Amino acid sequence: MKIVSIAVSKKKGTRKETVGEAWLSAEHGLQGDAHAGAWHRQVSFLAKESIEKARAAGLTVGFGDFAENIATEGIDWPAVPIGTRFRLGESALVEITQIGKECHKKCAIYYQAGDCIMPREGVFAKVIEGGPIRCGDEITPVGEKPV
């Protein structure tokens, strides 16, 4: 299980730009990202496998296109119980707070990509302990074992 992409954006509801590394701030989220703040959806995760499935269905999408902060390999996010904690890299620690989300209106991502899989396959977390994260960093479950 590892990080394969990190992405940030200044505005909510838009595609994110990928970066090689970033800083997770405790109780805040990914520095420089519009979703960071004092709430339960500080960081979003989506499986690389979900993005590949969208590509196979004919969508022209890549990392950051579904507004996910962190794309991962080897984790079935919708099957992970809320409350599960993950260590990202050496020091960052996150706790899963929400699986999927309700979209009240079709966002720019839906119109640009033709679909948005975040409501079905993305998960959200709050940052418990901050630290640097990089593409290629290992993700280790802490506490409940994910599916």
Give dist(CA 90, CA 139) in Å, integer: 9
pLDDT tens-digit series, residues 20-57:
999 999 999 999 999 999 999 999 999 999 999 888 88
Give dist(CA 134, CA 61) in Å, integer: 22
Give dist(CA 95, CA 43) in Å, integer: 10
pLDDT tens-digit series, residues 77-92:
999 999 999 999 999 9
Residues whose CB falls within 8 Å of the CB of residue 52, separated by 6 or more in sequence, listed in order: none
Give dist(CA 37, CA 40) in Å, integer: 9
Domains of the chain: 2-142 (2.40.33.20)
70 φ/ψ angles, rounded to the nearest 5 degrees? -130, 120
Q: Give residue 146's pLDDT.
A: 47
